[in-house]
Amino acid sequence: MYKMYINPNIKKGHINKEIYGHFSEHLGRCIYEGIFVGEDSHIPNTRGMRNDVVAALKAIKVPVLRWPGGCFADEYHWKDGIGPKENRKKMINTHWGGVVEDNSFGTHEFMELCEQLGCEAYINGNVGSGSVQEMNEWIEYMTFDGVSPMATLRAQNGHPEPWKVSYFGVGNENWGCGGNMTPEHYANMYRRYQTYVRDYNSDSKVFKICCGANSNDYAWTKGVLETCFKNAPEHLHGFMDGLSLHYYTLPKDNWQDKGNATGFDEEEWYTTLEKTLRMEELVKRHSTIMDEYDPEKKIGLIVDEWGTWFNVESGTNPGFLYQQNTMRDALVAGINLNIFNKNCDRVKMANIAQMVNVLQSVILTEGEKMILTPTYYVFYLYKNHQDATLIHSHLQTTTIGSKAHQVPNLHESVSMNEEGIINITINNLSVTESYEIESILTDWNIKDVKGTILTNKMDAYNSFEQPEAVGLADFTDFTLTEQGIKFTLPPCSVLHLEAK
C-alpha cells in the first residue's frame, strides 16, 4: 500500500493557467491544414479556422498560444502577413522542409484564432533577422489605440480595434537557430530590442520574455542574467518578466535516430520517462541561478517548448516533424504537468510543442479527419488545475524500471480550486504493475469523489482507422475511508480524482 499525504491547509502557490499553454509554429501541417484551412475549404470552418479543431481545443481550455515560432519566428517578417492575401509575399520556410510559405495566416488570422479559442496571445518576435523598428512597429500595429501610422494600417486592414498581446518573446533560441549568439551578445540585443516593446495599452502590460537556455545550459542562464541585470534599475528586474527554457524528451541521445513514436519496447519506455523526469532538475537548477538575481521570483520561468521528439513517421516529410502519440506520450505529459504544478512558484507558463500535427500534438489531422491523441486526454484531465492553488502532497514511491533506467512508480500533484474542490492527478509509470494507494487528507472530510482515467497498453494510440482506441473512462474503483480515498491504480495510467 502506497500512502499519499495531502494537506489542504498548506497552500504552496498559484498554478497559472498558462502552464497549460500550447505552441503553434509555421511548421509542417501545424498551422496550415491542422488549424487553418481557409474560408473556401470544404472542411467546415469559421473564418478559415477548422471548426472541429477549435471545438476540441476549447474543451481542454487552451489558456495561451505561442506563435509564429520557434525557429520560424526569427525569419518571420510580420508585414509580409498582413493586407489582401493575394498581395502577400511568398517566402521559403528554410527551417522546415523548404516549402513555400504564402503568408495567408498572419497577425489578423492568429488573433482571430485566439479569439475563437478564448485564449491569451503569446507572440514571438524576430531578433535573429529582424530590426528593432520592425519589432517596435509590430507591437504598435497590434496594440496601439489611437492615431499612428501602424494603428491606421491595422484599421485599413479591417481591424480598427487594438488587440491584447499578453506575452511577447524577444527572439527564440538565439543560442542556435535564432542567430547563434553568445549569451552576452544576445543579452545586449535583448536589452535594446525590449526597450521598444512598448506598453501602448495602459490597462494591459506586455509580459516580456527573454530567450533562455536549452536544456542544461546553465552558463547561458547565468550569462544572460548577468548582462541583463548589469546597472539595470532594480524595479525593472533585468528588463524581463520571463526567461524561457526549452527541453525536449528524446528516447535516444542521437538526433539522427531519436527512437520511434510507436513500436518501442519496455526498455525504451523507461528511458523516455527517465529523461522526461529530468525536467524537475532543469527547472530547479535554472531557478536557483535565477534566485541569485531575482530572489523574490518576480521573473517567471517560461518553459515555452517541451514534449517528446521522435523520428518522423515513415513516408512523411522529415522537415514536418509529424509523429504518432501513444500512452507513453500521455505519461510524459502527466509527469511534466505535475512538475510544472509543483514548481509553480517559478514556472509561470509552459507550452507543449506543438498543438497539431507536429511533435507531441494533442490533435492529428488527415484531410477532413481529426483524432485526439492520448496527450490530449491528459490536458483534459488536468484542466482543473488551471488557476487553482497548489497544496501540499507527498506520495510514497518505489523505484522501478530497467537496470539502466530507473523511475519512481508513481507521480502526482494536487491542487484546490476556488470552490474548495481538491483535484488530484496521479500517474502510474509501470508497464505491468498496479498499485494500491491510500490517500490521507489532513483536516478534510471527503463527501464525494469523481474519478476519470486514461489507461491502456504502453504503445496504444489512436489512428485514423481506429480513432477511439485510447480514451477516457469513468473510474469508480475506490472507497472512501475516514482519512481519505483508497484505490488501485492500473499500470500505465493517468488518473484524475476530484474530491469534494
Which residues belong to the active site?
173, 305
Among 6, 57, 71, 224, binds ligand AHR (CB under 6 A): 71
Rg for the chain, CA atoms, rounded: 22
Closest separation between CB of residue 321 and ligand AHR, Å? 6
Distance, C-alpha 73 to centroid of its chain: 17
Beta bridge partners of 22: 65, 352
Please work out the total of residues on this chain that contact ligand AHR, with binding judged by CB under 6 A: 10
**Residue whose CB is less far from ligand AHR, 174 or 386:** 174
Closest separation between CB of residue 68 and ligand AHR, Å? 10
Interface map 12-41 toward ligand AHR (x if CB under 6 A) = -------------x----------------
Q: Using CA atoms, how far apart are residues 489 and 327, in angstroms rounded to an integer?
A: 15
Closest separation between CB of residue 323 and ligand AHR, Å? 12
Should residue 75 be labelled a site residue for ligand AHR when binding is judged by CB under 6 A? no
Should residue 489 be labelled a site residue for ligand AHR when binding is judged by CB under 6 A? no
Should residue 393 be labelled a site residue for ligand AHR when binding is judged by CB under 6 A? no
* Residues 25, 30, 34, 36, Cα dihedral to 10°: 30
**Residue 112: CB partners within 8 Å, gap ≥ 6?**
47, 48, 49
**Residue 25: CB partners within 8 Å, gap ≥ 6?**
31, 67, 68, 69, 70, 71, 72, 73, 96, 353, 354, 358
Q: Which of residues 318-357 bind ligand AHR (CB under 6 A)?
A: 353-354
DSSP 299-368: SEEEEEEEEE--PPPTTS-GGG-----BHHHHHHHHHHHHHHHHTTTTEEEEEEE-SBSSSS-SEEEETT
Interface map 218-237 toward ligand AHR (x if CB under 6 A) = --------------------
Q: Using CA atoms, how far apart are residues 341 and 338, in angstroms rounded to an integer?
A: 5
**Residue 241: CB partners within 8 Å, gap ≥ 6?**
207, 208, 209, 298, 299, 300
Looking up cell 506520495, which residue turns up?
395
**Residue whose CB is less far from ligand AHR, 106 or 171:** 171
**Residue whose CB is less far from ligand AHR, 351 or 393:** 351
Q: Which of residues 285-324 bind ligand AHR (CB under 6 A)?
A: 305
Closest separation between CB of residue 218 and ligand AHR, Å? 19
Report the residue closest to ligand AHR, judged by CB: 70
Closest separation between CB of residue 24 and ligand AHR, Å? 10
**Residue whose CB is less far from ligand AHR, 354 or 386:** 354
Closest separation between CB of residue 136 and ligand AHR, Å? 23
- The cell for 324 is 504518432
Should residue 70 be labelled a site residue for ligand AHR when binding is judged by CB under 6 A? yes
Should residue 268 be labelled a site residue for ligand AHR when binding is judged by CB under 6 A? no
Contact 364, 356 (CB under 8 A): yes
Among 69, 130, 171, 300, binds ligand AHR (CB under 6 A): 69
Beta strands in 78-172 (DSSP E): 91-93, 99-101, 120-125, 167-170
Closest separation between CB of residue 315 and ligand AHR, Å? 20
Stretch that binds ligand AHR, among 66-74, 109-117, 189-197, 205-213 (CB under 6 A): 66-74
φ, ψ of residue 461 to 5 degrees: the values are: -150, 165
Number of H helices, E strands in the chain: 9, 26
Q: Using CA atoms, how far apart are residues 448 and 136, in angstroms rounded to an integer?
A: 53
Interface map 350-389 toward ligand AHR (x if CB under 6 A) = ---xx----x------------------------------
- Summarize as ranges the residues that interact with ligand AHR (CB under 6 A): 25, 69-71, 172-173, 305, 353-354, 359
